[in-house]
Structure 1
Amino acid sequence: MNGETVSSLSLLQRIMKFPLVFYGILYVILTYCYVGLYFMRTSYVEAIAPGPVAPILASALGCIVMVLVYRSLSEHIEKRDVPEVAVRPMLSEFGLGFALGFGLYSLCIIILMLLGVYRLEGFNDPKILLVGLAAPLATGFFEELLFRGGVFRLAQIWFGSWIAIVINALVFGYVHMGNEGSTMQGIISITIWAGVLLAATYMLTGRLWFGIGLHSAWNYTQGTVYSGIVSGNGEMSGFAKSSMEGPDYLTGGSFGVEASLVAFLVCSTAGIIMIVMAKRKGNIVPPFWQLTST
């Protein structure tokens, strides 16, 4: 579909298509899907079919539903094609993002180990590596559809890429303020580096799969693999038996490694590199007032 002219839309369609209204609709429906998926997985699936496979399949099914909801809302309300969830590059871009997310967090841990901050003391049952995949997968899909497919994409249409990065970062940081171990250091850190890095994945590819893979892998590697605190949500018992001792600017304190100087430098650098690559590809979108003045 190529879209409809504004004059051909009814008043209700125009209201629903307005970015803030559309985002509100997207937020409510995707949140219900995500919360429903959580309760289905934890209350029914894990009780009926204990073990790692069923929760992962339930999460995968829920992720498919969230993508279909996002596509359907975009097609029927915005009246547009939805290239950001195109199926063909899904597996390759998700896989590349997952590898990058795993690699970035592992690099942070390696640096912290060299600094004597992170100590590896042994390993737990490797089944944890499967059991702990379901939740990060669902969260990666939900937050990328909502924040990069919603906040960043809509802000970019109106205000251009540079301002959209700032809006996306501020919103993403704000929603983490209510987390149990939230600190000012953690909010400032995740606002800047995660806002830049995750927006850069969308700018570089024009699709959400790369960012979904990276986001899912970062949370998975942080909590399930290295037993770290994920965005201030409490300590995780993952595959690695580990301890973290040192100043808050290195450990991240109660917010986790995401709030550390190491994560800030590593992930900000990765984000800036991707933005430079996106700029060289000509993927920087100007604000609407520059488009209308030409």
Structure 2
Amino acid sequence: MRLLKQLGTVAGVALAGNLAVGAAGGGWVASLVLGIATGLLALLAYRWVVRRTERRRPVEVELAGARAGLGAGLLVGTAMFVGVIGAIALLGGYRVEGWGSLTGAAGLLGVAVASGVTEELLFRGVLFRVIEERAGTWVSLGFTAALFGAMHLVNPHASLWGAIAIAVEAGVMLAAAYAATRSLWLPIGLHIGWNFAQSGIFGTEVSGADTAMGLLHGVTSGPVALSGGAFGPEASVVAVLAGAAAAAVFLRLAHQRGRIVARRSRALATATV
């Protein structure tokens, strides 16, 4: 029941934010302002519903760790995509054809904030965390990563490979980042930094969505395994390898810090329901 309440609360805010952007006409000011507002409201809604359903402080989104965790995530997420697109460009799969739009990039920042915050609250803050309590880290990691990848099958230009790529480089990596820190700020920052670098800086598709022009007018070409094709660089083997490497680092940290949760016995799980 608490799982449904938490998912419903955060998803409701995300839906309302998307509808508000659509009703406002999708201009860059509306996208920026409403995107940031959606992220902030989703965080407040998450804090409220966790307190209400679990009777505890939502320490995973405590403001005390927000600056460091969010800042590190933004830096690492952006740097990761810079490395990925740089490797793709060196292999001939990406080129810059000119300057894009500063206002377009500002609007895409709002989109990145809204999607980064709401998706992390839903998938890592609610689903991963609650399932982990019952089934342990590894089961929760596999299930939520697969679900996160499958969710992208409804995106434009989606494919089974694209869903698998998203499951590994985002679903596994972001859950591993949460497991290592037990804070949602790092995965939120990673998600925002990665998405904004794709669209807002380098002007590429994000999970199949042909977004507005960012700072650069970028074009991908060549084999799908290299460029990601119409789905965007996230379907590139380069991106999958980068995400898998980062996930391995985070999981190692989680293990070293004793933050890998074992699966609970059936008797204990039943006794505490």
Instruction: Give your verdict on TM over 0.5.
Output: yes
Q: Which residue of 1 aligns with 2:21?
A: 41
CA distance in 2, matches of 1:114, 1:219: 21
Gapped runs of 5+ residues in structure 2? none
Q: Which residue of 2 aligns with 1:26?
A: 6
Establish whether residue 227 from structure 1 lines up as the match of residue 203 from structure 2: yes
SS in 1 for 2:261: coil
Q: Which residue of 2 aligns with 1:15?
A: none
- Whose Rg is larger? 1
CA distance in 2, matches of 1:65, 1:187: 29
Aligned residue among 104, 119, 129 for 2:80: 104
Aligned residue among 130, 143, 147 for 1:154: 130
Aligned residue among 45, 58, 64 for 1:88: 64
Establish whether residue 241 from structure 1 lines up as the match of residue 221 from structure 2: no
Deviations 1:236-281 (A, max 9, x none): 4222122211111111122111111000111110111111011111
Establish whether residue 145 from structure 1 lines up as the match of residue 118 from structure 2: no
CA distance in 2, matches of 1:226, 1:166: 31
- Residue 75 of structure 1: how far off its partner (Å): 1.1
CA distance in 1, matches of 2:31, 2:169: 31
SS in 2 for 1:105: helix
- Residue 128 of structure 1: how far off its partner (Å): 2.7
Opposite residue 126 of structure 2, the aligned amino acid is: G
Q: Do 1:148 and 1:198's aligned partners in 2 also have CA atoms closer than 8 Å?
A: yes
Q: Which residue of 2 aligns with 1:17?
A: none
When residues 229 and 125 of structure 1 are mapped into structure 2, their CA distance, relative to the original with a 3 A threshold, is: closer
**RMSD of Structure 2 on Structure 1 (CA):** 2.0
Deviations 1:111-166 (A, max 9, x none): 01110111112212333332221111000010000000011101110111111110
Gapped runs of 5+ residues in structure 1? 1-20
Opposite residue 267 of structure 1, the aligned amino acid is: G
When residues 22 and 290 of structure 1 are mapped into structure 2, their CA distance, relative to the original with a 3 A threshold, is: closer
- Residue 29 of structure 1: how far off its partner (Å): 2.3
CA distance in 2, matches of 1:181, 1:236: 17
Q: Which residue of 2 aligns with 1:271?
A: 247
TM-score, length basis structure 2:
0.92
CA distance in 1, matches of 2:226, 2:248: 22
CA distance in 1, matches of 2:37, 2:218: 33
Q: Do 2:105 and 2:213's aligned partners in 1 also have CA atoms closer than 8 Å?
A: no
Q: Do 2:220 and 2:229's aligned partners in 1 also have CA atoms closer than 8 Å?
A: no
Opposite residue 177 of structure 1, the aligned amino acid is: L
TM-score, length basis structure 1:
0.86
Q: Do 1:183 and 1:254's aligned partners in 2 also have CA atoms closer than 8 Å?
A: no
Q: Which residue of 2 aligns with 1:116?
A: 92
Deviations 1:76-127 (A, max 9, x none): 1122221111111112111110111111111011101110111112212333
Opposite residue 141 of structure 1, the aligned amino acid is: V
Q: Which residue of 1 aligns with 2:180?
A: 204
Q: Percent identity?
A: 30
Q: Which residue of 1 aligns with 2:40?
A: 64
**Which has the higher mean CA deviation after the structures are superposed, 24-33 or 71-80?**
24-33
